[in-house]
Each structure stands twice: as structure tokens, then as C-alpha cells.
Amino acid sequence: MTGHALVLDFGGPVLLTPFELAAVESGTPAYALLHQRGPLATAEQPDPAWEDLQAGRITERAYWATRAAQWHESGGHEPEIRAMMAHLYEPARPALVREQARALVRDARAAGIPVGILTNDLRAFHSEDWIEKIEIVGDVDVVVDGSIEGHLKPAPRLYELLSQRLGVAFADMVFLDDQATNIRGAEALGIPSVWFDVANPDASYAEVRKLLGLPGMEEGGDG
């Protein structure tokens, strides 16, 4: 296996996070639960459960299951993750995808670099109809979804499946993910990785471009 590949987590690096989407819903249960939480938490308003997730003490699904239950108790929809995600993400629309992600995928493909999405919960959180309407999913070469495969990041098997399907060795991947525990799992396998900073996306994309040898946005990227 030779050559480089770009590997993207979906929620966060590609798709706007629930925390960002809830910020425009002032006065709602979503806003009360998610505004300035998760990666956007502050010292004045910390999110201990998110810190537990980053440390690997709980899973991402456990985090969101708790938030969905709180959502329900606060007068939101059914106490299910999918119901909460549907409220925030439906209908499927271009504005849900980061423009920087579109440009990165486009530039990588133009340079002959294969692109994969490595996600834990795409189909666990979203319907097939919704996924089909998010065009960037169809623009990549491989999608490995833990909710289908039966393994979740940071389990090595999920990274192995992506390596096999992309035909690229671990050392030749560049992996972007917003969960520290997933970054640790990738780095343990020798995968060059970049932690995606939701509060500073441009810096994260710039680091990925540097590792892949792609020009930065200011150097001619056309996103």
C-alpha cells in the first residue's frame, strides 16, 4: 500500500456540531443544554461530561444519550439521540457542511489523494434519506461507519478496515477528528493525526493541508 490519503471524522470536521447549531436557538431546550458546552465550554460554564469523553472515561454515545434524556426532561422531543439530532439537522441542507471541508476534499481529490470518512455514528444518528442528501458523503472514496461495522473508534479494527478499503498504510494517512480519544487511538497505530479544534477550524485544516502537501487556502485553495 503506497501513497497518501485524507481521513476525516464526519461530525465536527465535516458537519457542524450540535453545539454550533444550538447557538441560534436561544430560549429553547437545545440552547440551554448545548450552548457553550462540549468543545465550546468555558471556564465559567464547564462541561464535565465532555471532559470525561475526551479522557476516554465515557463513550460518545453515552454523552449524547445523557444529553437526549436531559433534552426530553426539559420539554424537547423523545428521549432518543436520533430525535434530538433530527431537530437540529433536518432538513438536510448545504449549510450544515463546513465550506473548508468541501474545499479540502475537493483539493485532495484534484491532487490524486483518496479521501475516506471514518465515523462512529453516521447511521446511528441520521436516517439513510438524510445521508443521501448530504452531497459530500458521495464525494469521498470510502465511508467506514462504526454503527454498521460493529466497532467504534478508538478500537483498532475500525482504522484497519479503513486502511484496507482505501489501500493505504497507516503511516500514509492523515486523520482529522475532534475527539481526543479517537486521536490517541489513531496515533497508537502510527497514523499521523490532527485534533480538530471546533473553536478554531481554520488552524486544523491548515495543519492537515500541510501534512498532505496541499496548498493552504491563502495559497490558492479555492474554497
145-187 pLDDT, tens digit per residue, is 999 999 999 999 999 999 999 999 999 999 999 999 999 999 9
pLDDT at 2 over 70: no
- Write the pLDDT tens digit of every residue in 47-88: 999 999 999 999 999 999 999 999 999 987 788 999 999 999
C-alpha triplet 188, 165, 205: angle, nearest 5°: 60
* Cβ contacts of 170 within 8 Å, gap of 6 or more: 159, 163, 189, 190, 191
Domains of the chain, with CATH numbers? 5-16+97-219 (3.40.50.1000), 18-89 (no CATH)
Q: Which amino acid is at 10?
A: F
Does 3 score more than 70 pLDDT?
A: no
Whether the bond between 91 and the residue before it is cis, its omega within 30 degrees of 0, is yes
Instruction: Please state at what angle helix 180-188 crosses helix 156-166, rounded to 10 degrees.
Output: 70
pLDDT over threshold 70, residue 219: no
